[in-house]
Amino acid sequence: MPKSLSGQRDREEATRNQETAARLREERRRAATDEHRQAANRILLFIFVDLVLLSGYLMTGAVSVTEVTVFGILGVCEVGFFRFAIARGWHLLNAGVGLSFGITCLFSAHILGFAFYVPQVGVLMLMLLITVIAMTALTLPVKYTAMLCTVIGLCAAVLMHVRNTRLTMPMGSWPEQVLSALWFALLLGRGALLNLKGRELRVALGRESAALAEALDQLEHSATRDELTGVPNRRAAMNVLSEELARSRRTGRPFSVALFDVDKFKQINDLLGHGAGDQVLMQFASVASAAVRDTDCFSRFGGEEFLLIMPEQLNPDSAALAADRLRRLIEQYPWSTIDQNLVVTVSAGVSTLNGLESAEQLIARADKGLYVAKNEGRNRVCIG
């Protein structure tokens, strides 16, 4: 295949990969933004419910108007800051860990402070604080969760020492008992919601893991397989060659390689078009892959050149016979399925590992054999 056409395909593939990567990044950003906005909406809903219950305590005289107002204003301001941070894109930094940690610290300080400065509902606030931390722990790394719990614990200890108050919950009258029971039931509901959220995260994580495994398989396949023919590419062939060199040096057992080239391939492209040329390469690769041994590695080495690694061929003569069998198969193949007048032959150069030579030296000798085969009239195998 001409280098210009191959280079154009490589550039087109690189462009498609870049567009796919950009689309995936945009989808992740959009999903993260939607998730954080939903979290802000849930927090606002929870604050509204808490305000309704605190208003009930206000009617019983357990709390004052100022205390309820301060609780509501602080909560709304915190949600407003959360939305402001989302609009500025702070949730995209460090996977949103910093923003989640900061917002949780704000809400925790709000709830903890309210618990000790309005101790008659302190127990209810502490129960609320536990659900806030548990919900945040679903998305925070372990070290941040541990840090958050440590900070809150120390702050609670300081407040206990400074305030020296007894935290209680309103239970003096039947309305207060009903409100406290309702508060407790709603906290249980938040716990159930938390469990459902955790299950959703586990399911999503399982799907992402499966998708990642599939993507890795596809990436590995594309990195080691030739896109046109489906046989191993040059990178994969060099890896196999390196492994065979290492094995040979351990055991002292040589191996052979054969470098094939499609004869007059440029003429095929010029006369029949690049589509026919591609068909020739694909059919050649298919026939050769089916004909070689399971222990052999047949790969596309570049353009119309193919490399056959033969671990079981220990000398040049036997390697040349194996390469010649493949040459005859290609010569006898019914190429008329592509074009009625098409005749395809291949030339090959063969070399067997000699001493401590490198992979490049081994291939260079095979290339010399291929050069000789071309000069002697093509459609033959020569030892390099």
Tens-place pLDDT, residues 19-28: 766 777 777 7
Residues 315 and 317: their CA atoms lie apart, in Å, by 6
Residues 327 and 321: their CA atoms lie apart, in Å, by 10
Residues 6+ apart with CB under 8 A from 21: none
Q: What are the structural domains of the chain?
A: 3-221 (no CATH), 234-383 (3.30.70.270)
What's the confidence (pLDDT) of residue 211?
62
In the β-sheet with 256-262, what is the strand arrangement from edge to edge? 297-302, 305-310, 256-262, 346-352, 381-383
29 vs 2 pLDDT, higher one: 29
In this predicted model, what pLDDT tens digit does every residue of 37-57 receive, in sequence order?
A: 887 888 888 889 889 999 999
**What percentage of the chain exceeds 90 in pLDDT?**
18
What's the confidence (pLDDT) of residue 328?
92
Q: Choose from 8-12, 28-32, 130-134, 265-269 the range with maximum mean pLDDT.
A: 265-269
In this predicted model, what pLDDT tens digit does every residue of 178-200 receive, in sequence order?
A: 998 998 888 888 777 766 765 66
Residues 293 and 359: their CA atoms lie apart, in Å, by 21
What's the confidence (pLDDT) of residue 208?
63
Entry pTM: 0.52
Examine the pLDDT at 70 and tell me if it is beyond 60: yes
Beta bridge partners of 367: none
Residues 253 and 218: their CA atoms lie apart, in Å, by 35
The CA–CA distances, whole Å, from 251 to 245, 294, 359 equal: 10, 21, 17
What's the confidence (pLDDT) of residue 354?
87
